[in-house]
Chain A
Amino acid sequence: MIHRMNPITAAAAMFLVLIAVVALLGEYVAPHDPYKQNLLSRLTGPVWTEGGSSEFWLGTDRLGRDLLSRLIVGLQMSVGVALLGTMIGALVGTVVGFVSGHFEGWVDNILMTIVDIQLSLPFILIALTLLAFFGNSMALFILLMGMYGWETYARLARGLVLSAKRQAYSVAIVSLGATSGRLYGRHILPNIASALIVQLTLTIPAIILLETALSFLGLGIQPPDASLGQILGEGRDYLGSAWWIAVFPGLAIFCITLSVGVVGDALRDRFDPTLKARRN
């Protein structure tokens, strides 16, 4: 499969693997303790700049913490929250979509009205309101990430289920005497999974960006924990004097979302049989 990949897709995929490994290992690969303050070497520049130190490759922040180590644990947090949030959203949305597609009628109408309501409100508004009411906690934050994007899965899964259950093979399987669970679990889900997986690659970057935005506003991950968005937010005040604090997490976010997007496109092409001819 690799040899047929175009080089950009391959690079993006490899980058994502690297990110995943680093995020998984977290503190173990960090060169310094990411939480240890060292006021003497605060705001040291990256190693290649004037005044940089070979001890801190990407420099230090306002409390003298090693930026690279902070980025690594921040990455762990951001990727973890994004994956967990995506999974919750995908699961809830897909289940809602299946329920809607199975029952149709008034059940479908009610569920899809809820979906439409959420789609018509800017999500950041919903997030800010909930955070204002319930205060900030890690559990609520992850739940919020899960609430983001479920409606897209619900809509997508509903449409796919409605069309799949009218296919002759579904009718044949029902007429064999299969239960609905068997029809949906063993036949329809495997057939529509590819579309849902592609949707995952669209939601992950969106959730990373949402996490970034909320943390940047100080409503997300709270210090001393770090996330990419939170480090970026901290760097905001030092853009003039210590640009690296904001630039590196920004660059990381940019590269991750771009890579997930590129890999997602490749997956979509791969799953879409109508594009097969063009590929060959």
Chain B
Amino acid sequence: MIVSTQAPLLHWDRLSVPLPTGADRPHAVENLSLDLRQNEVLCLVGESGSGKSVSAMATMGLLKGEMSQTSGAIRFAGQDLTKLSPDARRQLTGSKLSMVFQEPIASLNPFYTAGAQVSETIRTHSDQPAAAIREKVLSLFEEVHLPNPEQIFRAYPHELSGGQCQRVMIASALALDPAVLIADEPTTALDVTTQAQILSLILALRDNHNTGILFITHDFGVVSEIADRVAVMRKGQLVEVGPREQILTNPQHDYTKALLAAVPKLAPRAARPVQGKPILEVNSVSKTYRTGSFLRKAGREVKAVVDANIHIHGGETLGVVGESGSGKTTLSQCIIRMVEPTSGQVQIAGKDFLSLKGKELRKARQRVQIIFQDPYTSLDPRQKVGDAIAEGPLIHGTDMREATKISHELIEAVGLETAAADRYPHEFSGGQRQRICIARALALQPDLLIADESVSALDVSVQAQILDLLADIQTQRGFAMLFVTHDLRVASQICDRICVMQRGQIVETGAPDQLFANAKEPYTRALLAAVPGANRVFG
């Protein structure tokens, strides 16, 4: 870090943002006092609902309604932004403060080309001729390392990948050479290898443009890669701020310590010994999607899964890792037959699962259960929690009393109060809902549990609890688990073996300790290298 002696670029002075009446607390952000300096990356970290995004929105003047009634001050260039009229504020900050959002594809207008959108940003703030603007945009594209700038200039957002869209957004944010760049979880929606590239790009920006960067993230791995200073927020309040090394190695506040302790360790373990025959055997399963229609017979073929072979024993956890589009979810959907494989065999507890039909299939479904990524959509919003958990046993002929008993036992087993049975899903937090989903899946005593990115949408502290819960229950009940994830840290912790997928193929399988120590495939090595903060132990 280059220590700047100048006055802070941006200064939040006891900033408070009210929440609408009826929210769970009076303020989204309370008495936030913080500096952003030139030529530094300040990471704002915290769990969901900690007020980090709201602080950014307040700074950009993007809050609406009751929340726009902020108190305190946001000082920039000698003025308090909160006291300026919207027009004056726009004139002062329009070209000086820029923001990049989490969803790169949603942030671009699908109707215009990437070039047109970046050009427009420049055009609204200057009267340069079109040719000059075009040149400038192309040089920006080059600076953010977009391949073939000319081609990207003419491309529409849907023709670009997520990483490319995010580069375009960053180019657009840089178009006016801003003094401050606010990046709100800009890499969260991206694959790890893409994330690594975007992070190095952001560091280059800091160095080349002296930009002050406020980087919002929930990921301590990312923090350890790029932060100069770190500010930790919790429930709207700033709990701790300091240089990166101090926060990561010697945190003062208990909350920071707890957060760091919850970061999954990249601590690859050895496989546990297994016995007997495998519960799940997948032999040469392939799934090919053919596009094309009645009028256009010769369509395109997409090979989502190619010749996959896996097996899992009881009590064992197999991780499937890979980037988005690698086919890991399709593979798990083939196993539960939500997607019919094009070819291959799936045997569960010695039974051929793919040949089953109708009643037999419905009966066999209780052997395999699945837990999804998004706990908000995976429960029927109009069904009480107790009924949701009891439903599986009821379907398979258990009587009402027994099913209710099972449901109550499981609610306790996953760490909720039995009173939860009478409540609806929307009354629970994401982590609690994921517990309910686990209880629902376990009610049928499956032989195989598939967890499809089941902890990816959760905050780290909740994530750690759910991972512990899964491991404990697995030890008690001895089911086999297929754990699909994009997060190598999580996989290294919970899995006995990991298989790495790339473009539909399983490229490498091995126990975490072997795989992490000497991966044979270059792709596996690239994935491992891209894990943010890979060389650091947190907490």
Structural contact, A191 and B395, CB atoms closer than 8 A: no
Structural contact, A190 and B440, CB atoms closer than 8 A: no
Query: Within residues 141 to 178 of chain A, which ones have a CB less than 8 A from any CB in chain B?
Result: 167-169, 171-178
Interface size on B, residues (CB 8 A): 30
Structural contact, A176 and B391, CB atoms closer than 8 A: yes
Cβ of B43 within 8 Å of any chain A Cβ, yes or no, is no
Give the CA-CA distance A168 to B379 in the complex, in Å: 7
Structural contact, B338 and A176, CB atoms closer than 8 A: no
Cβ of A179 within 8 Å of any chain B Cβ, yes or no, is yes
Binary contact track B335-361/A, C-beta < 8 Å → 1, others 0? 010100000000000000000000000
Cβ of A280 within 8 Å of any chain B Cβ, yes or no, is yes
Structural contact, B374 and A175, CB atoms closer than 8 A: no
Query: Within residues 21 to 53 of chain B, which ones have a CB less than 8 A from any CB in chain A?
Result: 22
> Which B residues are closer than 8 A to A by beta carbons?
20, 22, 336, 338, 362-366, 368-370, 372-374, 377-383, 391-392, 395-396, 437, 440-441, 444
Q: Which residues of A contact B381 (CB under 8 A)?
A: 169, 191
Structural contact, A176 and B377, CB atoms closer than 8 A: no
The residue on B at minimum CB distance from A190 is B382
Shortest beta-carbon distance from B430 to chain A in Å: 13
Structural contact, A175 and B383, CB atoms closer than 8 A: no
Structural contact, A173 and B380, CB atoms closer than 8 A: yes
The residue on A at minimum CB distance from B441 is A172
Q: A177-B392, A191-B382 are in contact. Are A168 and B377 (CB under 8 A)?
A: yes
Pick the contact of A176: B20, B372, B379, B444 (CB < 8 A). Answer: B444
27 cross-chain CB contacts under 8 A: A168-B373, A168-B374, A168-B377, A169-B378, A169-B379, A171-B372, A172-B370, A172-B379, A172-B441, A174-B338, A175-B338, A175-B368, A175-B370, A176-B369, A176-B391, A176-B395, A176-B444, A177-B365, A177-B366, A177-B395, A179-B362, A187-B380, A187-B382, A190-B382, A191-B382, A277-B20, A280-B22
Binary contact track A175-207/B, C-beta < 8 Å → 1, others 0? 111110010001100110000000000000000
Structural contact, A191 and B365, CB atoms closer than 8 A: no
Pick the contact of B380: A169, A179, A277 (CB < 8 A). Answer: A169
Binary contact track A3-37/B, C-beta < 8 Å → 1, others 0? 00000000000000000000000000000000000
In this complex, the interface size class of chain A, counting residues with CB under 8 Å from chain B, is 10 to 19
Give the CA-CA distance A186 to B391 in the complex, in Å: 11
> Which A residues are closer than 8 A to B by beta carbons?
167-169, 171-179, 182, 186-187, 190-191, 277, 280
Structural contact, A176 and B392, CB atoms closer than 8 A: yes
Structural contact, B366 and A172, CB atoms closer than 8 A: no
Give the CA-CA distance A176 to B365 in the complex, in Å: 6
Which 9 residue pairs across A and B have the least CB separation, nearest first?
Answer: A168-B378, A177-B365, A177-B362, A176-B392, A168-B372, A168-B377, A169-B380, A190-B382, A187-B380
Shortest beta-carbon distance from B99 to chain A in Å: 23
Q: Which residues of B contact A177 (CB under 8 A)?
A: 362-366, 392, 395-396, 444
Give the CA-CA distance A169 to B368 in the complex, in Å: 16
Q: Which residues of A contact B369 (CB under 8 A)?
A: 175-176
